[in-house]
Each structure stands twice: as structure tokens, then as C-alpha cells.
Chains A and B, each alone.
Chain A
């Protein structure tokens, strides 16, 4: 059965800290891994990763995929209170454009 596991499940940090969120997966016919941010509403898209070892970056957020280790990390530097949210990892299978399998999410709380 396809599985996506995120760790930690929750994390509390202070503003300015750097955090690393982890995602590991076991799926057949892997195509891509996606990260989403969810506040008190629908998930918003952050990154899609298809190639191993290539970092994607957007401001203070960055992510990289390791296909050998079947995992990905999401880094957030200089955290702000507005980064408080649930971060979801999802995996897509080939041929693409089909269902996503999500992990449970990591609840990040950034305190001032």
C-alpha cells in the first residue's frame, strides 16, 4: 500500500529559527513529490519535485528530493509567525495528473 510519512508531526520554534521538515514515501511508480502549506483553509501549493538532488527555492523556503532515500526535506530559514501552519507532503504516481497520496502533515508553530 502506498504510504507517505512525515516527521515530526508537530514542532514549536521561536521566530528566527531554522526548521527542517521530513517526508518519506513508499509508492509504486513514483513521479513527483509536492509540498503544500495549510493554514485554516485549503492547502496552498509550495513546490513540486521530480528530479533527485535539485533544490527548489522560494524566498526563505527550500526543498530537495532524494530518490535514492525515498525522501524529501523542506527547509524554512529565519522563521516568522506567519509560517505557522500545517505543512503537507504528497506523492504523485506515473503517468502524472492522477491522485495525490498525502502524509499526515507537520504542524509548525512559530512563537514570537
Chain B
């Protein structure tokens, strides 16, 4: 499968714990995006990378959230001191750049904070 992959697919954690998610983009895509989606809402932008450079972070992204893409390939999203409000589906997408810029999404990581 050459699509975007994410790991884990599901994560249940207790409030206050740290969690880390991984995203592997389509291999030739140099832009990588993170979104969060809650029930009944469309995805909400969190941050994106061009290779290893983080180009934009949403102002909604609190300092408990950090994302990295150290070698310009896979990316990790870490949430520290999780809160119940962090429960959501975390989606990763990738796109070629330059190009037509269509973003292709991975299957998501569903986070439940108890």
C-alpha cells in the first residue's frame, strides 16, 4: 500500500498522560499536514511541514502539542498532559509540492482520553 499510513489506529489513554502518533506520507510527497476531527465536524488544521521545516501552526494548537518531521519523511505528533477535550480523530495528509496540491489523507488515529 503506497498511501498515507498512521500508527497507532486507536489509542486510549488516561488524562495527564503523554501520547505520540506517527504518520508516514506518500513517499514522493514533501508536504505533510496534521488535522484534528471531532464528531460532527470537518477536519480542523493543526500544522504542516515542507520537508523538515514546520511552515505553519494553528493558533488553536496549545503548547501541549508538538509536531516534528526530523528527516523530512515521517512525522510525529505529541500531546503532553492529555485532557479529555483532546479526544478526537487525528488525521495526517500529504501532498506533492510544487504541484496540484491535492491533499491525500491517512486512516487517522482515534484518541480517547479517559
Binding site for B on A (CB under 8 A): 4, 32, 34, 36, 41-45, 48, 88, 90, 92, 96-105
Contacts and interface: CB of A to CB of B under 8 A. Distances in A.
Interface stretch (B10-18, B64-72, B96-104): B96-104
Interface of B: 4, 31, 33, 35, 40-45, 48, 50, 55-56, 58, 91, 95, 97-108
A102 B43 contact: yes
Contacts, number: 60
B21 to A, nearest CB: 14
22 contacts: A32-B101, A34-B102, A42-B107, A45-B103, A45-B104, A48-B100, A48-B101, A48-B102, A88-B42, A88-B43, A97-B95, A97-B98, A97-B99, A98-B56, A99-B33, A100-B33, A100-B35, A100-B43, A102-B44, A104-B42, A105-B41, A105-B42
